[in-house]
């Protein structure tokens, strides 16, 4: 049975990390034992979810309006309708050898580090099914997710030493067959995460806390407790929870705290003022950077955009700006990591972090009768950072109806004898890049060598 990621309350009340590592965490910074990827890099991961089904025509997979216009609509069945969009001049963006739609935002500034995957088939028009397929790489059974999330596999193999190996904010996560320590700690936003990591009130005095800790430790060492796997799971979880709270990890994410450090983070990401701002995509992106650079997490999942299910004429007003906000948040995350030195090396944290941007599906290439767009099987995604060959588009959607086209996985070019890209190809690429040989997640597809540098 699938185990969903735990909530904040579960952190303190349930057994989060069965058999988890009890490595010491000294203060806020930790010396993490990082696994070596296949290419020799130490990799971390950030999954950035655009909720609701993005419109790839205004972002990742645009079309030239001079060619795809009303005169050719009967032949192309593609209607960019850029002239209807509000808050933009409707012009395509050329950057780093790539062409983007008018709402790509600041992500275009990092085109040389971004690889776009186009012409991907989701094989579903249902939000839950599309989202869970991208998370697990497997078609759900009805709406029920099958298998563990790729984030869970990565955390299980490489994140044991981190205080929170797998951190997920407003994104589903699943664990079926991996150790419990790899199960995602889930929260609804940065404020929830801060509350989970901050010591609660009232607190025991130092002497009382020491006595209680000694008592629980002694009980866990008695013969009957050592013979009980359930008791040992509970003790491991208690120690892990104590480690996190005593480490005062909350200070890494309290972006409203006074001081220059937090002021600089707020300014860089554009985090809105007040507690409401901590729930923003900008705050989630900043949280991901802090968790990765601070040695807290190996894998982080965040939601950087929402409200993208625009079936009506709000598409012209809302779709683009909401996507652009998400692209901007990811761009600022990329910028932050690229400017941050990776340990005692000449490399950056971006060189050691893979970022994946995705949505559950895209929107139809034709406007519907309500001047909005419905759900489309064809999708796109993007990857950036460590080991990713940027400045390229892999795969292609057709110029008639934007249908997925088969490609050669080795060079990323259209090939009738090749394969149609699906989410599992993307996830398999991450697992293979990380050095996990074989098909550990039972995805039953190959990776995409064209994506890797």
- Where along the chain do its domains lie? 3-7+34-190+249-451
* Rounded-to-integer distance, Cα 425 and Cα 423, Å: 5
* Rounded-to-integer distance, Cα 396 and Cα 406, Å: 8
pLDDT at 40: 33
CB 334 within 8 A of CB 350: yes
By CB atoms closer than 10 A (0-12, 13-18, 19+), residue 202 is exposed
CA nearest to 57, candidates 36, 30, 85, 32:
85
CB 251 within 8 A of CB 287: no
pTM, two decimals, is: 0.87
pLDDT at 15: 29
Question: Could you tell me where the DSSP H helices lie in 249-378?
Answer: 260-269, 281-293, 320-339
Q: Residue 190 corresponds to which tokens in the numbers above?
A: 């940065």
Structure letter (DSSP) for residue 316:
I
pLDDT at 236: 62
pLDDT at 7: 45
* Rounded-to-integer distance, Cα 310 and Cα 371, Å: 9
Strand partners, 3: 175
* Fold observed for domain 3-7+34-190+249-451: Alkaline Phosphatase, subunit A (3.40.720)
pLDDT at 314: 98
pLDDT at 32: 32
pLDDT at 22: 26
Q: Residue 142 corresponds to which tokens in the numbers above?
A: 């009805």
* Rounded-to-integer distance, Cα 136 and Cα 413, Å: 26
CB 331 within 8 A of CB 110: yes
pLDDT at 211: 77
pLDDT by position in tens, the chain (length 453): 444 554 433 443 332 332 232 222 223 333 233 334 444 359 999 999 999 999 999 999 999 999 999 999 999 999 999 999 999 999 999 999 999 999 999 999 999 999 999 999 999 999 999 999 999 999 999 999 999 999 999 999 999 999 999 999 999 999 999 999 999 999 999 999 999 998 876 666 667 767 777 787 888 888 888 888 777 766 665 555 555 555 689 999 999 999 999 999 999 999 999 888 999 999 999 999 999 999 999 999 999 999 999 999 999 999 999 999 999 999 999 999 999 999 999 999 999 999 999 999 999 999 999 999 999 999 999 999 999 999 999 999 999 999 999 999 999 999 999 999 999 999 999 999 999 988 999 999 999 999 999
* Rounded-to-integer distance, Cα 235 and Cα 115, Å: 44
CB 429 within 8 A of CB 448: yes
First vs last Cα of the chain: how many Å apart? 38
CB 357 within 8 A of CB 346: no
pLDDT at 400: 98
Q: Where are the beta strands (DSSP E) in 306-440?
A: 353-358, 362-363, 375-376, 378-385, 392-394
Across the chain, how many H-helices and E-strands are there? Answer: 12, 14
pLDDT at 245: 56
Reply yes or no: is the peptide bond before residue 430 cis, omega within 30 of 0: no
Q: Residue 325: what are its φ and ψ, rounded to 5°?
A: -60, -40
For the chain, what's the residue count? Answer: 453
Q: Residue 114 corresponds to which tokens in the numbers above?
A: 């971004």
* Rounded-to-integer distance, Cα 103 and Cα 363, Å: 15
* Rounded-to-integer distance, Cα 403 and Cα 76, Å: 11
pLDDT at 217: 80
pLDDT at 4: 54
Phi/psi-derived region of residue 341, left when phi > 0, alpha when psi is between -120 and 50, beta in every other case? beta
């Amino acid at each position: 049975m699938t185990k969903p990621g735990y909530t904040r309350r579960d952190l303190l009340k349930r057994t989060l990390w069965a058999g988890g590592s009890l490595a010491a965490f000294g203060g806020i910074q930790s010396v993490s034992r990082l696994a070596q990827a296949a290419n020799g890099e130490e990799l971390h991961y950030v999954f950035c979810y655009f909720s609701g089904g993005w419109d790839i025509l205004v972002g990742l997979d645009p079309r030239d309006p001079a060619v795809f216009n009303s005169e050719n609509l009967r032949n192309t069945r593609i209607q960019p309708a850029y002239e209807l969009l509000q808050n933009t001049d409707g012009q395509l963006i050329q950057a780093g050898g790539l062409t983007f739609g008018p709402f790509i935002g600041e992500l275009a500034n990092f085109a040389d580090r971004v690889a776009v995957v186009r012409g991907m088939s989701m094989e579903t028009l249902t939000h839950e099914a599309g989202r869970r397929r991208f998370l697990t790489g497997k078609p759900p059974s009805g709406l029920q997710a099958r298998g563990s999330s790729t984030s869970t596999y990565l955390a299980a193999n490489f994140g044991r030493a981190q205080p929170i190996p797998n951190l997920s904010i407003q994104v589903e996560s699943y664990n079926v067959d991996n150790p419990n320590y790899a199960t995602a700690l889930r929260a609804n936003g940065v404020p929830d995460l801060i509350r989970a990591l901050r010591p609660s009130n009232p607190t025991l005095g130092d002497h009382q806390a020491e006595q209680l800790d000694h008592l629980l430790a002694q009980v866990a060492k008695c013969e009957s407790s050592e013979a009980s796997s359930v008791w040992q799971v509970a003790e491991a979880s208690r120690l892990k929870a104590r480690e996190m709270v005593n480490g005062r990890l909350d200070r890494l994410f309290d972006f409203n705290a006074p001081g220059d450090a937090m002021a600089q983070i707020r300014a860089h990401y554009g985090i809105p003022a007040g507690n409401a701002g901590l729930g923003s995509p900008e705050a989630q992106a900043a949280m991901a950077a802090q968790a990765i650079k601070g040695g807290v997490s190996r894998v982080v999942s965040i939601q950087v955009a929402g409200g993208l299910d625009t079936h009506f004429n709000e598409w012209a007003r809302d779709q683009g700006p909401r996507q652009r906000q998400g692209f901007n948040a990811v761009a600022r995350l990329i910028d932050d990591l690229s400017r941050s030195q990776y340990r005692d090396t000449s490399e950056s944290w971006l060189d050691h972090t893979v970022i994946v941007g995705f949505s559950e599906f895209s929107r139809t290439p034709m406007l519907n009768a309500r001047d909005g767009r419905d759900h489309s099987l064809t999708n796109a995604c993007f990857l950036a950072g460590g080991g990713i060959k940027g400045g390229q588009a892999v795969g292609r959607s057709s110029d008639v109806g934007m249908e997925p086209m088969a490609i050669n996985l080795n060079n990323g070019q259209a090939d009738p004898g090749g394969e149609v890209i699906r989410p599992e190809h993307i996830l398999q690429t991450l697992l293979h890049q990380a050095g996990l040989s074989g098909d550990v997640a039972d995805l039953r597809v190959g990776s995409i060598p064209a994506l890797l540098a």
